Amino acid sequence: MSPAGGVLTAVLALPRADGEPPVTVPRDPAREAARRELSKRMYHENDPGLLRQALDAFWKWVGKLLSAASSATPGGGLGLLVLVLAVLALIGALWWRLGSPLRGPTSTAPLFDDRPRSAAEHRAAAEAHAAQGHWNQAVQERMRAVVRSLEERALLDPRPGRTADEAAAEAGRALPAHTDRLRGAARAFDDVTYGGRTAAPQTYHQLAQLDQDLERTRPVLTSGAGRGTAP
C-alpha cells in the first residue's frame, strides 16, 4: 500500500524491441490477456478428448470414494477388501440360488414342438435326462408328459400352441384336487424354459410324482358339459 493509502497494483513488465523501458500492464488486464492467449486452439491440440476427461474424472471419484471407505472401515484397506469380497460372494450365492431375474409372470411360447410325441415317449425322455443329471430338460419333458397324458385321456383337447400355464389352468378344472400342484409344475417349466433358472432334482421328482398321481386320479367333469363325475 502506498503512503497515500492507495492499493498497490501489480504490474506485468513487457519488454520493448526498441530498447525503451518495458511497458507495465495492471494485474487484471494482464490476467485477461493471458486468458485470451491461452484459450487459442494451438495450445489445446494435444488435450485429451471429452471421453478421456470423463473417465479420468470418474476414476478420480472412485479413488476418493475408496479412500474414504477405507478410512471408515475397520482394518483399513484390508478390511474394505474383505467386505467387498463378502458382498460379491453373497451376490453370487443369491444368483445361483434364485437364478436370473428375467422371467416374466407367464409364458407365451407353446409347450410342445412341431413333432407330436406320446406321453410315454416324453416320460422316457425325461427319465433319460434325469439319469444324466440334466434336470432342466427332465422337468421340461416331464411337464410335456403330464399334458400329453391328459390329452390322451380326453381331459384336455389337443391344441397346438398351448402354453404350460394354459394347460395347468384347463386341467385344474377337471382335476380340482391337483390345481395348485399343476400350477406349480407350470411355473417350474416356465422357470427353466424362459426364466434362465436351474431346476433342482427335487423339482423333477415332485413333477414325476404329480404325473403318477394324475394317472390314478378320476376327473371331475363339469355339469355344464352334460356329464357327471367319471366312474
The pLDDT tens digits for 13-66 are 555 555 555 556 677 777 777 777 767 766 666 666 677 778 788 888 877 777
Give 13's contacts (C-beta < 8 A, 6+ positions apart): 22, 23, 24
Environment class of residue 222 by beta-carbon count within 10 Å: exposed (0-12), middle (13-18) or buried (19+)?
Answer: exposed
- State how far the Cα of 27 lies from the Cα of 129, in Å rounded to an integer: 85
Give yes or no for residue 185 having a pLDDT over 80: yes
- State how far the Cα of 190 lies from the Cα of 197, in Å rounded to an integer: 9
pTM: 0.50
- Give the type of residue at 141: E
User: 63-72, 177-186, 206-215: lowest mean pLDDT where?
Assistant: 63-72
Element (H, E) at 12: strand 11-14
- Give the type of residue at 100: S
User: 59-73, 89-103, 152-166, 206-220: lowest mean pLDDT where?
Assistant: 89-103
> Which grid coordinates belong to 68?
474414504
